[in-house]
Structure 1
Amino acid sequence: MYFLGIEIGHAATRVVALDLEAATVAAESVAAHAWVEGLPDGYREQDPASWIGAADLAMRQCLEALGDGRGGVSGIGVTAPSGGMVVLDEGNRIVRPAKLGIDRSAQRQADEFARAFGGAPGLIELAGNPVEPGSLAAQALWLKQHEPYHFQRAARLMTPQDFIGYWLTGESGIEAGSAATTGLFDVPQRRWSAELLEFVDGRLYDMMPPGISPLQPRGQLRPALCQAWGLPESVIVAPGSGAAALAALAVGAAGDGSVVADLSADGSLAAISDRPVVDFRGEAATLCDASGRWLTRLGMSNAVAALELVRRHYGWSGAQFEQALANTSAGANGLLFLPYLRGETTPRLPDATGVLHGITLDNFTPGNLARASAEGLALGFGYGFSRLRDLGFEPAGVRVARDAGPAFQQLLADVFGVPVVAVAGTGGPLLGAAMQAAVVYFRLNGESLGFDEIAGYIVTVDDSTRRDPDPVRHEFYEELLARQQYLVETLHTGGFL
């Protein structure tokens, strides 16, 4: 039995086939789609029709690799990065190119939301999160103000994953994990915010999709697609969800208190809870996970960039960087690196740049630079970990979404003060989408498969990667983290960060 995942990424659409019996990925494929060119700075748009073409091509390639196994496909799940907006008219025609979550053209509209509702604190109190410029909320207001003709034509507004789900089934709907990323959803109450919808326009009540339970299918795959792809007519399509919710599921974080460190380019520290946890400081996003629980997420924008900078500078492989890290002592002989090469999400410093502090004639060596960059990144995660504890989480350990190497994982364990272990072979949100489809399929057919059960079955923890913290080094890094945060606050207050 196979379950497929579709991910509409920024550069390409990917499809994966999960072999449920073998608990492995049996086939995968990718098809690129292009950006709309010639737009002003900050605009990031794509034609949703290109997603359809890419999804069709990637699906055909994946099923071809699956061979006769395509007859055993039972369900499909869909995901995409947070944010973005697709606009359809009454005839379900695409009105204009879709704005993506990384589009920043609606910054002024996000600021309007803040002014109207008492700034970020007022919005957090109202709905759990501030309104971001890449959210559907800000982009809908931008559309109304900048393209009123297109806004008047609009009959439906959708996230990218819900648009593809609509194309697959003909059924409109949105699950809480997707709705929580729109900026229009009261996340703690798991419902649309009447105040935020009305602020954009009274018509938004009818333009937003109806809600779908995380345990119910969106619908069945359309007969035309079943025939085109050679799939059984009984294939169901899961409700779909945002990338953050399904990425957590893909590493087995499906129970209360689970914590995951994602070391990908869009890095994060995320925790699952049975109750909504709202950060009134606005650093942690309050989201809904894929199972009906809540997800607290702290973004880490430099999870890859900080280490890649040093590796690229010295022409090192990953193994050579690990060796340099292992051969240097904690503290990098006084070097302290603030790794904000792309700004930073946690702490919230969107315009910050990197800082290398404490250089002397003795410590400016390749090994110490490797150590300082790794410690700067690990301490950033450590700050996020401290914020989770401030919010009431008491993690017994942390799962890492990919094996980061023994030296760096030991560093993370020493900073966190709890064991760190990597998950073997995670497929990210794409795998999570396929896992969601499996749970929904079995629930539909009378079997009470839970999200925690499928996570325990599919996700393999690589015990060989487990690293336990060293108490002495943990105490050292607690002091170093305090130094780092003092430096951050001092430079930021003085306008240098």
Structure 2
Amino acid sequence: MRRVFLGVDCGTQSTKVVLRDGVTGGVVAVGRAPHELIERDDGTREQDPAWWIDALRIAVRDATRGERFDIGGIGVSGQQHGLVCLDQSDRPVRAAKLWNDTTTARECAELTRTLGGESRVLELTGNLLLPGYTGPKIAWLATHEPDAYARTVRMCLPHDYLNLWLTGEFVTEAGDASGTAYFDVRARHYSDAVLAAIDATRDWTRTLPPIAPSLNVVGTLRSEAAEPLGLDGGVPVSAGGGDNMMSAIGCDVVTPGPVAVSLGTSGTAFAYRDRPAVDPLGEAAAFCDSTGGWLPLTATLNCTSVTEWVRSLFGMDHADVDAAVASEGARGLAFLPYLSGERTPNRPEAAGVFVGLRADHGRDVIVRAVVEGVTFGLAYGLDALHRAGVAPTEVTLVGGGSASDAWAQLCADVFGLPVVRPTIVEAAASGAARQAQWAVEAKRPGLAPAASRRFEPRPRPVLREAAERMAALREMSRANQL
């Protein structure tokens, strides 16, 4: 029987499952199941954790399709920063507030003032208090839903909740925990000062999961979870981690040097460091990775969520969008893509803006401007990584949007760097499976040989002009002039 390792990625839009061959490292099966999303005009973005469990059951059975595998281990990747509140029976008290929920701007400001300002917060944790992070969500819950807060006995992250369901163990690891804003990334433990600012009366040692080493097995698959998944009980389950950390493992960003950019619902750029990497402006997240190192990262809230919005708006197929993106430029039209507010830079209440729209601009020009705007946002994130000590010589491009040759070429042109697009199947889920094998076998597994395509940067005067327009728009957004 073929020995495989099972990786799970619980994302915003869906749960993906991969089976990774334990010898070759190749992906032998993939399963998927979609998620619903609760959205409100005030910036609320939530999901019921029960939906994740239902999707996990469906996705695992979709991957195995009744075939028996020798599953050597399970690893779980989860969307970062979500707040899962559990009662005394470990049942969710309410829907989980997600990474792209922007309702907590006031709590961020109040906590930052309480702690002594942004510089002091960076000293305490390495990261600013931003609306996407978990800590401000806890403060929001205490203020806006005191009854739900009072009924909450334990709190965890989405991947922690799935591990709890799989194993019965309440535990987390440093990579995902570093995205909470109440975790000291330098010392790799919770920040007592930040937690006291959130609630000085709560016993946080009982509320939050303990930190396990990232490359440890944290439990085994319990029979109550194995049966609905169609698996055998007793399978080792690794610590897992956040989706960005698992994507880094899946892309082999586990040693100094490589820089990856992911074109997903959100857009991320990240690199491995063997020491803490703190951006003095706080725009690059100073995360830990899930192998024992650190993962400086920038994230934009608006990536394929925006490109899919404009595609749907015009009823275009992906080939039509690619043709528009491949055109020479946006003819003076600029688009600030903050449809969901923004995290990098921190603009939780900002909105999307077109500037320079004329009567002779058709849909292709508008689409090109939208994709340009998203790409310049990613370039802004790469600049923040540079402040944190990351100096890329090329970029590895992953995520669903990377399948577009036109967008990959635009990334190379805008970044001014060569872009390499490897063939990686579901980077986060594959990384989770790879981490599981790493934990079980106590050595780093190899990667399957992957074909790749390289895109070289081309000099484009129109992009220099577009970059200047985008910089001006960002500054106007900062000054609330839009």
**TM-score when normalising by structure 1:** 0.85
1:156-171 alignment, distance < 5 Å: 156-171=154-169
User: Is residue 2:134 matched to residue 1:136?
Assistant: yes
- 1:173 deviation in Å? 1.3
Contact persistence 1:338–1:354 (CA under 8 A): yes
| CA distance in structure 2 between the partners assigned to 1:344 and 1:145 by the alignment | 24
Aligned to 1:18: 20
User: Is residue 2:176 matched to residue 1:178?
Assistant: yes
Aligned residues: 476
Aligned to 2:219: 219
Aligned to 1:446: none
| CA distance in structure 2 between the partners assigned to 1:355 and 1:36 by the alignment | 24
Tell me how large the CA RMSD over aligned residues is.
3.0
- 1:227 deviation in Å? 5.8
Contact persistence 1:383–1:481 (CA under 8 A): no
Aligned to 2:385: 388
Q: Which of 232-241 and 174-183 deviates more?
A: 232-241
| CA distance in structure 2 between the partners assigned to 1:461 and 1:131 by the alignment | 40
Query: One-letter code of the match for 2:295?
Result: L
Give SS of 2:290's match: coil
Aligned to 2:323: 323
Contact persistence 1:273–1:293 (CA under 8 A): yes
Aligned to 1:430: 429
Q: Which of 191-200 and 376-385 deviates more?
A: 376-385
1:441-480 alignment, distance < 5 Å: 441-443=440-442, 449-450=443-444, 453-454=445-446, 457-458=447-448, 460-462=450-452, 465-470=453-458, 472-473=459-460, 477-478=463-464, 480=466
Q: Classify 1:367/1:55 alpha carbon distance in 2 versus 1 (closer, same or farther; 3 Å).
A: closer
- 1:26 deviation in Å? 2.5
Give me the identity figure in percent: 36
User: What runs of 5+ residues in structure 2 fail to find an aligned partner?
Assistant: none
Aligned to 1:397: 394
Aligned to 2:417: 418
User: Is residue 2:177 matched to residue 1:189?
Assistant: no
| CA distance in structure 1 between the partners assigned to 2:337 and 2:60 by the alignment | 39
Q: Classify 1:377/1:198 alpha carbon distance in 2 versus 1 (closer, same or farther; 3 Å).
A: closer
Q: Residues 192-222 of structure 1: CA distance to partner in whole angstroms, max 9, x if unpaired?
A: 1111122223411232111111121111222
Give SS of 1:352's match: coil
4+ residue segments displaced more than 6 Å:
none
Give SS of 2:385's match: helix
Give SS of 1:407's match: helix
- 1:390 deviation in Å? 2.9
Contact persistence 2:280–2:387 (CA under 8 A): no
Query: One-letter code of the match for 1:343?
Result: G
Give SS of 2:217's match: coil
Contact persistence 1:14–1:31 (CA under 8 A): yes
Q: Residues 75-130 of structure 1: CA distance to partner in whole angstroms, max 9, x if unpaired?
A: 11112211222333444454444433344454443332112013333322211112
Aligned to 2:270: 270
User: Is residue 2:4 matched to residue 1:5?
Assistant: no
Contact persistence 1:9–1:81 (CA under 8 A): yes
Q: Residues 382-421 of structure 1: CA distance to partner in whole angstroms, max 9, x if unpaired?
A: 2222222233211110011043433332222122222101
User: What runs of 5+ residues in structure 1 fail to find an aligned partner?
Assistant: 444-448
Contact persistence 1:86–1:97 (CA under 8 A): yes
Contact persistence 1:340–1:354 (CA under 8 A): yes
User: Is residue 2:472 matched to residue 1:496?
Assistant: no
| CA distance in structure 2 between the partners assigned to 1:480 and 1:97 by the alignment | 41
| CA distance in structure 1 between the partners assigned to 2:313 and 2:233 by the alignment | 54
**TM-score when normalising by structure 2:** 0.87
Contact persistence 1:78–1:164 (CA under 8 A): yes
Query: One-letter code of the match for 1:410?
Result: Q
Of 346, 360, 371, the residue aligned with 1:374 is 371
Aligned to 1:439: 438
Asked which structure has the greater RCO (Cα within 8 Å, sep 6+), the reply is 2
